[in-house]
Structure 1
Amino acid sequence: MSQAAESDPHTKVNEQWHRWYQTVNRLAWPVYHAAAARFVEGFRKDAGGYFGNWILLPTTKKVAAIVTVMNEKDTILSVLEQLHRLPLHELIVVVNGSTDESFEIIRNQSRATIVHYREALGHDVGRAIGAKLAESEILLFLDGDFPIQAEHLVPFVDAIEQGMDIALNNISPYIGLFSGRDDVTTVKEFINRAMAREDLQANSLTAVPHAMRKQAAQRIGYANLAIPPKAQVIALDRGMRISSPASVDVITTNRHRSRNVGRNNAVSELIIGDHIEALKTVLDLKGSRLSFQDRIRHR
């Protein structure tokens, strides 16, 4: 950790908070945030100064937020404002294929490490690059196209603190009945069922926010992270602990672009293609029956 990070008052307050939080029973998230806010207020009265609306994390592990950005000048400032509320050790922003002022906004409004590519890499490749560069123990992945309240990110970090290797966004409450689901949602759920993890439903590394232990990213392989469903299959095959600790609605709030609107759009076809590659990995690992038992035919 850098000397600046060690002397950061937000980090110091978080360390004291975590020390206290370990002495009490786990709190429901609304109660947790209310108690943490009072803790910050008490520290502010004692030390003086303005701390803003800080959020405290139930961990003293180093946390990195990795954000991918492509032409997000209208939203990236709001994304950064929420992340600045957290006691992060690192903020890594991968700007790729941008032709707007995203880079300048990030450079002027944060102390983020900015990785800049003129060509468009896509969110998944950007996340893989950020994961490889990060030094922190917990990696938190977001996109720059819509802000997520800092409070809603805490359960993902907490899941890693509690022993999970990967913490997925539980999008299941937002996808509706099976009859109305799109092809992308269907194939996500099929991959999980093929790996005997039907409890994960349609939850996938393709959706943000999600968190991951740095060691898990290393074991999966950074190149494999660029194909999220394949990375998820590898993680499950290697016995990594995966849960879906919280739900953040990234479906109705997702920014509409020409590439992700309409049936069989370019983004959905790309995601389905990634899942076909993941399915090939499942077939290689499990055989033609995948994880499904042959209950009917007798040989």
Structure 2
Amino acid sequence: MKPRKPASRAAGRKPAGRASRPLKRSGRSPGRGRSRGRGPGAADRATSGGTRLSAALLAAAHRAGRSHRALLAAAPADTHKRSLARLWVSWYGAAGRRQAPPARYAQLVGAYLRGVFGPADPPPWLLLPTGQTVSAVVTVSGGQGAHPQLLRELRRMSLHEIIIVQDGTPNPGTEAASEPDGILTLYYPDALGQDVGRTLGALKATGDILLFTDGSVPAQADFFIPLLAAAGKGVDIALADMTPLLPFFHLRDRVSVLQEFMNHAMGREDLAANSMATLPHALSRKALEVIGAELLMIPPKAQLTALRANLIVSACRMIHLSQSKWALRSRGTEEMELRIGDHLEAMEAYLAMTDGRFHYQDRMRKRKWKGSS
């Protein structure tokens, strides 16, 4: 009988190395980026700022609504929403009062309305977080009307006016028509495109803040609250932060790459790939006067003008971000070439304003050694 050889201590041992080590758990999955790859709604969770409202703040809003009930009763019925919007801002914007995160803002407004009208049947209004007047400019292309859900949600808000710019209408009948609910619709038989529609709508708008959005895409009313809240606090151009929806850099289309490059070239890396070329966004009246309504039809040049004029431009974290995926839809060839041309035109204008290197300094080459050239 042969003696059994002693078992090697290495027998059954897993080979040492990186592959045998367990992966450390982190906030993102291996090989993933930002909020991608974490299931449906990941982008919404990443940007919602879902802090819960305290019971004390909800109770305070309810008490404020009850105290304003008598003031509202004295106002004419057709001005109730406008009057209530002013009363709401006087309470919500009081010094030292805690502001609700965008994801919970509608909940706080609901508590206030239940205080005003009682719990039985309060109106579905969404009062705005600013006392400035807001004009919504809705652009629609292709001869189709604005999405019914979008219009329904915009009517919920205490807006100063809603302007619809609709092109491609075969027989418009009239150039401008005002509907009974205060919506002004501008009809144009030719296909103008969204960018030209912004200029036409801005020329008609009279509000302190202009909210631009695409009429073909539905969105909830509170989706626009981060933009309007920022504009109400002094931001001149409030962009919707679409960063969580972007794929890896090598998978992005050329327009997204150009948008980010242009922001970097102007020293605004914080804006990432966010641009006025993407809807929705909000402009202050000051920004409109500095940029000029005509330049809105070339969004990259409008953004260049704003940054050169030291206007306050900010990218706002959005809620319900999955609703805005239309902004990152695959672009057709014609639209792609138009966007690329707009950005190249803007960069050419910026190069003419600088020394040909944007804001970057050449610290390596010693051209003086070459001689006079």
Give the 3 Å change call, closer, same or farther, for CA 236–250 of structure 1 in structure 2. farther
Equivalent residue number for residue 133 of structure 1: 204
Equivalent residue number for residue 114 of structure 2: 41
Q: Give the drift of 1:214.
A: 1.5
Listed as ranges, the matches of 1:214-229 within 5 Å are: 214-229=285-300
Q: Per the alignment, in what secondary structure is the counterpart of residue 211 of structure 2?
A: strand
* Contact kept? 2:298, 2:342, Cα under 8 Å: yes
The yes-or-no answer on 1:196 pairing with 2:267 is yes
Q: Per the alignment, in what secondary structure is the counterpart of residue 192 of structure 2?
A: coil
- Determine the C-alpha separation between the residues in 2 that align with 1:240 and 1:178: 28
Give the 3 Å change call, closer, same or farther, for CA 267–256 of structure 1 in structure 2. same
Question: Which residue of the other structure, out of 59, 66, 79, is the alignment partner of 2:137?
Answer: 66
The residue type paired with residue 136 of structure 2 is A
* Contact kept? 1:92, 1:113, Cα under 8 Å: yes
Give the 3 Å change call, closer, same or farther, for CA 236–72 of structure 1 in structure 2. same
Equivalent residue number for residue 71 of structure 2: none
- CA offsets, 1:39-69, max 9 Å, x none? 11221229x9x65321111111110000011
Q: Give the drift of 1:33.
A: 2.0
- CA offsets, 1:245-269, max 9 Å, x none? 1234466335979xx34xxx11111
Equivalent residue number for residue 278 of structure 1: 346
Question: Which residue of the other structure, out of 3, 7, 11, is the alignment partner of 2:82?
Answer: 11
The yes-or-no answer on 1:269 pairing with 2:337 is yes
The yes-or-no answer on 1:181 pairing with 2:249 is no
The yes-or-no answer on 1:86 pairing with 2:154 is no
Equivalent residue number for residue 145 of structure 1: 216
Deviates more, 1:107-116 or 1:162-171: 107-116
Equivalent residue number for residue 27 of structure 2: none
Q: Give the drift of 1:7.
A: 5.0
Identity of aligned residues (%): 35
Q: Give the drift of 1:31.
A: 3.2
Give the 3 Å change call, closer, same or farther, for CA 139–74 of structure 1 in structure 2. closer
Question: Which residue of the other structure, out of 235, 242, 251, is the alignment partner of 2:306?
Answer: 235
The residue type paired with residue 120 of structure 1 is A
Give the 3 Å change call, closer, same or farther, for CA 134–271 of structure 1 in structure 2. same
* Contact kept? 1:131, 1:214, Cα under 8 Å: no
CA RMSD of aligned residues (A): 2.7
Q: Give the drift of 1:181.
A: 0.9
Larger Rg: 2
Give the 3 Å change call, closer, same or farther, for CA 143–179 of structure 1 in structure 2. same
Question: Which residue of the other structure, out of 26, 37, 44, is the alignment partner of 2:99?
Answer: 26
Give the 3 Å change call, closer, same or farther, for CA 256–219 of structure 1 in structure 2. closer
- CA offsets, 1:204-242, max 9 Å, x none? 001111000022111101111110000000000000000
Structure 1 gap segments, 5+ residues each:
none
TM-score by length of 1: 0.87
* Contact kept? 2:161, 2:182, Cα under 8 Å: no
- Determine the C-alpha separation between the residues in 2 that align with 1:5 and 1:59: 22
Q: Give the drift of 1:178.
A: 0.9
Give the 3 Å change call, closer, same or farther, for CA 287–293 of structure 1 in structure 2. same
Q: Give the drift of 1:200.
A: 0.4
Give the 3 Å change call, closer, same or farther, for CA 138–251 of structure 1 in structure 2. closer
Equivalent residue number for residue 12 of structure 2: none
Q: Per the alignment, in what secondary structure is the counterpart of residue 120 of structure 1?
A: coil
Counting matched residue pairs gives 286
Equivalent residue number for residue 124 of structure 2: 53
Q: Per the alignment, in what secondary structure is the counterpart of residue 212 of structure 2?
A: strand
Deviates more, 1:279-288 or 1:148-157: 279-288
Q: Give the drift of 1:5.
A: 11
Q: Per the alignment, in what secondary structure is the counterpart of residue 9 of structure 1?
A: helix
